[in-house]
Amino acid sequence: MEGADEFTVGTRFHRALDDGRIECTVCPRACRLRDGQRGLCFVRARHGDQVVLTSYNRSSGFCVDPVEKKPLNHFLPGTPVLSFGTAGCNLACRFCQNWDISKSREIDTLSSQADAVTLAATAKRLGCKSIAFTYNDPTVFLEYAIDCADAAREAGLRAVAVSAGYINAPARRELYSHMDAANIDLKAFTEHFYEKTAFASLRTVLDTLEYLVHETDVWTEITTLLIPGHNDSDAEIAAECAWIAEHLGPEVPLHFTAFHPDFKMRDVPATPPSTLRRARRIALDAGLRFVYTGNVHDPNGQTTTCTGCGEALIVRDWYRIDRYAVSDSGQCVRCGARVPGVFAGPAGDWGPRRQPIRIAAPSVSQR
């Protein structure tokens, strides 16, 4: 592309406006740009007569994690996943736990490089079963995420999107047609919270969840970070769980995770474990069958239980699996009841390890 560097690629989610600006249409933010301007996400910008992605083949770092860290408890349990993100985000959450990446306005943050084929080959060599687009939202680096997902599938691996779900329908269809699993961050269950604290819209996220669960084969789990005094009331938790049960079904796993003071909400205390246990009880009482707690030590809240006979099927301690009683085909070994999710043989034994890795610089010809 004339005038652009090797990490810049064209996109197709944009439209020309009558006033000469170009509107990015990848998400409801609808940034309207003049030549040289960047969107709120920072990594999508106008270049000439189109919107381009400026972080293609660049990452803020790569790491091999347990897949449960995404968190995904019903997707290839115990297996390693190659995780990476880029920079920027299309939300502006005041409580962001990865703000140094998602809120970065410095391209120097993107110190690691890898083209899609190299990334997939590395994941395969390291024994990973999947790759995950995480740390910041794959919505903003959609083109890079799609190419990496396709390369992963060619290598026999799965692709995972960890996202806030704030994306327009056409881009959503394109992105998730290349994904095998997703964890969607449902940040709260009021429009007021989304508008004032995340600067986004709850309705869009709910649309994404309904789309994934009812119109795709993408395995979907949900995470809600509970922030004391902001989204942790009994009434709000009950409303969220009732909506999930009615609109998505009781078998969609829900994770309640603990907030720690960060970014622009350092004055808010960390979430006590009792709040997570209370939320889990509300969710179970609402009829949800697979509800988990995260970022705390809580074996009971991290155990997968058979809905048929009550057997403890997958007993976890943080990211370590201590017991696994699911057949290779995804059934309870005691009563044969189906366990919803994606299972491919016995559980992996990666455990809680976290392994940062370096990947060789990309070959421009692969782009």
Residue holding tokens 């687009």? 133
Residue holding tokens 């903003």? 140
Cis peptide before 269 (omega within 30 of 0): no
Q: Which token pair is 98?
A: 């990865």
Tell me, which fold does domain 58-293 have in CATH?
A: TIM Barrel (3.20.20)
Beta bridge partners of 160: 132, 181
Distance CA 322, CA 46 (A): 51
Q: Which token pair is 212?
A: 């994934």
**Helix 169-176 and helix 202-215, axial crossing angle in degrees, nearest 10:** 40
Distance CA 189, CA 138 (A): 22
Per-residue confidence (pLDDT) for residue 113, from 0 to 100? 74
pLDDT, block means (10 residues), the chain with 367 residues: 71 97 98 96 94 90 92 96 91 72 45 82 94 94 97 98 98 98 98 93 98 98 96 98 98 95 78 97 98 92 96 92 93 96 89 77 41
Taking Cα atoms as reference points, which of 199, 150, 142, 135 lies closest to residue 172?
142
Tally of CB atoms within 10 A around 343: 18
Mark the binding-site residues for [4Fe-4S] cluster, compressed into ranges.
Answer: 89, 93, 96
Q: Which token pair is 40?
A: 């709120």
- The answer to whether 59 touches 85, Cβ cutoff 8 Å, is yes
- The answer to whether 88 touches 97, Cβ cutoff 8 Å, is no
Instruction: Put the strands of the sheet holding 44-47 in their side by side order.
Output: 9-10, 50-53, 44-47
- The answer to whether 254 touches 288, Cβ cutoff 8 Å, is yes
Q: Is the overall model pTM greater than 0.85, yes or no?
A: yes
Per domain, the residue ranges of the chain are 9-53, 58-293
Per-residue confidence (pLDDT) for residue 97, from 0 to 100? 67
Altogether, the residues listed in the chain come to a count of: 367
CA-based Rg of the chain, rounded to a whole angstrom? 20
Residue holding tokens 């691996």? 157
Mark the binding-site residues, compressed into ranges.
Answer: 89, 93, 96
Residue holding tokens 């920079």? 87
Taking Cα atoms as reference points, which of 135, 157, 144, 221 lies closest to residue 183?
221
Per-residue confidence (pLDDT) for residue 104, from 0 to 100? 46
Alpha helices (runs of H) in the chain, residue ranges in sequence order: 99-102, 116-125, 142-154, 169-176, 191-193, 202-215, 234-247, 273-285
CB-count burial class (<10 Å; 0-12, 13-18, 19+) for 234: exposed
Residue 365 CA, distance from chain mean position: 29
